[in-house]
Structure 1
Amino acid sequence: MTTHETSMTESAAALVEPLKALAHPVRLQVLQWLRVPEEHFPVNEVGVCVSHIQAKTGLAQSTVSAYMAVLERAGLVRSARVGKWTHYRRDEERIARLIEQIGRDIGDIDLVEPAHP
């Protein structure tokens, strides 16, 4: 394997966890809600309480906690404990780097749909 191929493999490996985390519709929806949290949740300076995310999804607390752990391991959200509650916010810096990496590794993504003849 050439150095270039090794580099691409390592780079591609860095995409796997975030893309797997985003592949689940509920996790993707939560990340979208957290983009503008004040439109969807009561927000404080720490972030959005997991109980509010749980209430909005209608899922069990344990399920939501597991989903948020996946997003956190993927580097897409950060958590902070306040008493017995965990609060979440998006990691905008990591998300921006991920978008840049996707552009480099996969190619420019045309966000405008091509015209169909």
Structure 2
Amino acid sequence: MRTEMTEAELLEVFKALANPVRLQLLRWLREPARHFAEINEVGVCVSHIQAKAGLAQSTVSAYLTTLERAGLVRSTRVGKWTHYRRDEGRIAQLVEELGHSL
């Protein structure tokens, strides 16, 4: 059974993807082994994402938080580090929703 995303959820996703850096982060996380030297089963450490992006850690963290709020990535805390990976199930749901509603 397909669960429709609310208009507010769709708008949150569109707002998150409207920023070119956030869109790039999501693209890098699509193929983490290609873009990052160090990955593990829970994702890519924010410090590695920050280094690749060349932005302040606080900026990258804020961007990733926006992507997480939109349901596009998930975070996992390992000690003092936060790792991120895409939420492929949610992204697939978004693609399906767009196919039905637009």
Whether contact under 8 Å (1:49, 1:87) holds in the other structure is: yes
Give the counterpart letter for 2:40 in structure 1: N
Question: 1:48 corresponds to which residue?
Answer: 44
Using the alignment, how far apart are the partners of 2:13 and 2:87 within structure 1?
12
Whether contact under 8 Å (2:76, 2:84) holds in the other structure is: yes
Deviation at 1:80, TM superposition (A): 0.3
- Which consecutive segments of 4 or more residues in structure 1 shift more than 2 A? 10-14
Using the alignment, how far apart are the partners of 1:63 and 1:13 within structure 2?
24
Output the aligned Cα RMSD. 1.4
Whether contact under 8 Å (2:42, 2:76) holds in the other structure is: yes
Using the alignment, how far apart are the partners of 2:78 and 2:98 within structure 1?
34
How many aligned positions are there?
98
> Structure 2, unaligned stretches of length 5 or more?
none
Computing the radius of gyration from Cα coordinates, the structure with the larger value is 1
Compare 11-20 and 85-94 and name the one that shifted more: 11-20
Whether contact under 8 Å (1:21, 1:74) holds in the other structure is: yes
TM value normalised by structure 2: 0.92
